[in-house]
Chain A
């Protein structure tokens, strides 16, 4: 098991109350797998990974029952220990909008050697050679290490960031929206290159992929988690979640995306908007928009039910799923939910 998180909560205290940006997330990422986390904007995806990487402001309140990486407890590590032992050596990050993540005043190669030299005692020349090799690995000419970030195109910067994340051969690479802002062709090329890199590598490398782009997730992931309002609604193997979703939110998401198999199908969006995360929601966070809601949904937080091995669903009405799947394809089902909202 690579990364194991149990009941992770990240709350922000603001003047109006407590914002529950991440509210009890349980997930685990296995060795050598790509775990995709999908969710709409503002559902807490970025907060989740920033919590893992310890990049959140000190004002945030973090609590978890368990957070471990390859059996090593992460919660008991001090910031310095975390930085020295875990960060980049074991868990690296391709940050959101990687295009702006390079410092404009330094040559790109220097920024990669900086990472290498911060974490290892490699000499300058060796580090430079390694960064050139990494550049080759992501399909950039090694000479480009001498260029400045502004001389790079968006796709090149993205590749440079991926090269940087691979520098110390980490066990887990966290990718926060790695292809946002790139055109589809570049996106496709980068994703393909990523797959190749994973194949070339001898040691096990897991990827934690976070995006709101379902197609990227579908293409890359072995397993998928669907996040909504700070909680994970459903997680299962990639094929399973697209073919046999259980959670009404997943059903709704599926409707909102065009599928190549059923062209011409009308896209149905889920009416309403996510709940305000300041409010205390005792029950299911999706209940306000769910067309299949029953009064019990609002009463208690649904537990993560293990429907099948490796398939967790946070919904109390999974026994009616056949009926839901039938109804979910009908636009009227969702419209009626709006009127009751």
Chain B
């Protein structure tokens, strides 16, 4: 039965996404990046920090793309292709992990706050308001200053910030579903509060939940790129933003277009792919958008 439910769930997601051309486009790009992220260690020709030499034995510094170095090299003579492959892995990992954790926090905050109301609502929502007052970068800088630079602090910092919007939106949706007759009927049948929240209300806001999952992942990717570009990323796990940071400090940003273009294009591509997919979910949640 469980397998069947999962199959049915995935089929529904598939149908939602392919009902929208941009949705298909987005899903393909996301899957492509996920695949690269998974396979990076297998297909990358070099390590990110290897210094390359050309056939004549000279250091290959700042070479444009050629047959020898497919995507060119950095100012330190490192392979941009390998860097891109590994950076995709880091970026997708950060995006997925912090996107999913943040939607988990946000959804629970919203559901509990909207369902119980009263004091619970007051406490959870005032807490959300406080988080709204928290600026991302200074928060991350303080974390790094306290604990050192690491991938996980970037993820924690993103998680702490990103959930707030989803909590508010899901709370408001919970409030409307809570008032529907079937919630009262479920209560009359003897369903416990948690059962009503997770068994009856949550399935009804699932499209919204998935929409915000996509949003949160996109936001996490952007936040990570921003933080890394400013040099707050993990130096041991190169990401797209980290590549741009290296480019910036090398001072070659005006000449080395082959160094600049791949991470920049990939950031734009992944974020817009996520937005396209979320758009498909938005249409499923609100079919009126489709008519335009």
Contact = CB atoms under 8 A, between A and B. Distances in A.
Interface of A: 53, 55, 83-84, 87-88, 92-93, 95-98, 100-106, 114-115, 118-119, 124, 161, 164
Interface residues of B, number: 19
B203 A101 contact: no
Contacts of A96: 181
Contacts of B19: none
18 contacts: A55-B184, A83-B192, A87-B188, A88-B188, A88-B190, A93-B185, A95-B181, A97-B181, A100-B181, A101-B184, A102-B182, A103-B186, A103-B203, A104-B204, A105-B206, A115-B189, A115-B190, A161-B185
Contacts of B187: 55
A57 to B, nearest CB: 9
B interface: dominant SS: helix
B188 A53 contact: yes
Among A98, A103, A114, find the residue whose CB has the most chain B CB atoms closer than 10 A.
Answer: A103
A118 B190 contact: yes
A262 to B, nearest CB: 39
B200 interface: yes
A118 B199 CA distance: 13
Contacts of A105: 203-204, 206
Contacts of B130: none
B286 to A, nearest CB: 15
A83 to B, nearest CB: 5
Contacts of A55: 184, 187-188
A161 B188 CA distance: 12
Interface of B: 1, 180-182, 184-192, 195, 199-200, 203-204, 206
Given A95-B184, A103-B203, 4 more contacts: A87-B189, A88-B189, A88-B190, A93-B188
B173 to A, nearest CB: 14
Contacts of B191: 114, 118
A93 B190 CA distance: 11
B66 to A, nearest CB: 56
A118 B195 CA distance: 10
A101 to B, nearest CB: 4
B188 A83 contact: no
B190 A103 contact: no
B1 A103 contact: no
Contacts of B186: 103
A119 B182 contact: no
Contacts of B180: 100
A161 B187 CA distance: 14
B16 to A, nearest CB: 14
Nearest to A102: B182
Nearest to B185: A101
Contacts of A114: 189, 191, 199
Contacts of A53: 188
B181 A119 contact: no
A327 B180 CA distance: 46
A101 B182 contact: yes
Among B181, B190, B203, find the residue whose CB has the most chain A CB atoms closer than 10 A.
Answer: B190
A96 B200 CA distance: 19
Contact of B185 (A84, A87, A95): A95
A124 B1 CA distance: 10
